[in-house]
Chains A and B, each alone.
Chain A
Amino acid sequence: MESLPRRSLGRRVGHCFSVCNHSVDGEVQLFWLIGVRAAGLLERTVVPDRVAANEYFTQEKVRVDWQFMLVLGIFLGALISSATDRSYKLESVPPIWEKRFGPSIGKRALWAFLGGIVAMVGARMADGCPSGHGLSGTMQLSVSSLVAFAMFFSIGILVAAIVYGRRSS
């Protein structure tokens, strides 16, 4: 058994977040793309010097590769499909949300933003989302994907029941 240096909880947590666990996986990592890549692209546009100095972005090359194109394709595919069968609809607040929390766009924006942060931190920790783990990983019967998929849904069901309630039915 290897002995570890004693560390304070704070340093330990800090260390957890600074350890970059490189994925050996060449799967469709949509979350990774939208997150790191888009953040990199955005940051490169806004503050080019910072990206040049940021080892993370130089380490993880910011580039437009097939994964970036795939996400762009999802947008285009949905646009083509909805435009051709008239299901395209501009919507500012989802109906279920509006029924429960009212028509305020600001409120929806705030919670969607916070939810997005939590979900993405979780997706990167678990190394996948419903595409990478739920579809791609489960198809291969990866143990990690089955566990992740079960967690996504079970916790999602729990939180959705708390947030949206069950009274309206």
Chain B
Amino acid sequence: MNTDQMLGLMTGILFGFLLQKGRVLRFEKQVGAMLLKDMTIVKFMLSAILVGMVGIVILKDAGIITLSHKPMNLGAVLLGGALFGTGWAVMGYCPGTSIGALGEGRWHALFAVAGMVAGAGRPLRGTLSLHEIDGSRVERLRQDRVAGSPWSLIMGHNSFILGRNDLLVLLV
């Protein structure tokens, strides 16, 4: 095992351990959050985000890391997000927690994992983006993709700050 694999494994064990301690791996907690009855996951995620954000700003300022944004294809993110939300509510797990749920004995998560493996299979391997559907908007979205943000599209020009897929620059 090389260093990368070792670090991945250690991070994973710690992540899985803490997710389990936070009790967020469970179907009841995930569906409970979506039914607005159990806020465990919401609290867990928001605290993780706040703490992580501080760490990221410090590491970024120290030059140890660079920010890594996922591409902003508005159509793909909206449609994909909606599909994910639908599947998430029905199966009661997200990809990471399904594996963790198996670890704590909830073996029915295997069905969800099998479905996800099938969903990631060959016929659906592409990424559906809005500019592939709506040809008339190709050029605008292409420019937008260069800027990496929908804000340039909304603002109508490439603003130096808002043209980035990065709200962090506004805060720090």
Q: State the A residues within 8 Å of B (CB).
A: 1-2, 4, 12, 15-21, 23-27, 30-32, 34-36, 38-39, 42, 54, 56, 64-82, 85, 87-97, 105, 108-161, 163-164, 166, 169
Contact = CB atoms under 8 A, between A and B. Distances in A.
25 contacts: A16-B126, A16-B128, A18-B126, A39-B118, A54-B122, A73-B10, A74-B12, A74-B16, A74-B96, A77-B12, A77-B18, A89-B104, A91-B108, A97-B92, A115-B112, A119-B94, A124-B80, A125-B79, A126-B76, A143-B150, A147-B78, A153-B85, A156-B86, A158-B85, A161-B34
Interface of B: 1, 4-21, 23, 25-28, 31-32, 34-37, 45, 48-49, 52-53, 56, 67-74, 76-92, 94-96, 98-109, 111-129, 132-133, 135, 138-139, 149-151, 165-168, 171
A36 B95 contact: no
Contact of A143 (B27, B102, B133, B165): B165
Contacts of A34: 95, 98-99, 113, 116-117, 120
Given A20-B125, A34-B95, A35-B117, A75 B85 contact: no
B16 A81 contact: yes
Given A105-B108, A120-B87, A66 B7 contact: yes
Given A39-B117, A109-B108, A119-B116, A138 B49 contact: yes
A151 B111 contact: no
Contacts of B105: 82, 88-91
Contact of B124 (A17, A96, A110): A17
Contacts of A65: 4-5, 8
A159 B85 CA distance: 8
Contacts of B76: 21, 125-127
Contact of A122 (B28, B81, B167): B81
Contacts of A91: 105-108
B9 A70 contact: yes
A141 B119 contact: no
Tell me whether chain B's interface is mostly helix, strand or loop, or mixed. Answer: helix
B158 to A, nearest CB: 14
Given A78-B25, A140-B56, 5 more contacts: A74-B13, A87-B104, A144-B77, A152-B84, A155-B84
Contact of B80 (A96, A126, A138): A126
A114 B87 CA distance: 8
The 5 closest A-B pairs by CB, nearest first: A73-B12, A116-B115, A35-B120, A77-B16, A119-B87
Contacts of B37: 169
Contact of A64 (B5, B52, B85, B101): B5
Given A36-B120, A122-B82, A163 B89 contact: yes
A113 B106 CA distance: 15
B36 A157 contact: yes
A99 B98 CA distance: 21
Identify the interface centre among A18, A31, A142, A157: most chain B CB within 10 Å of its CB. A142
A137 B5 contact: no
A3 B160 CA distance: 29
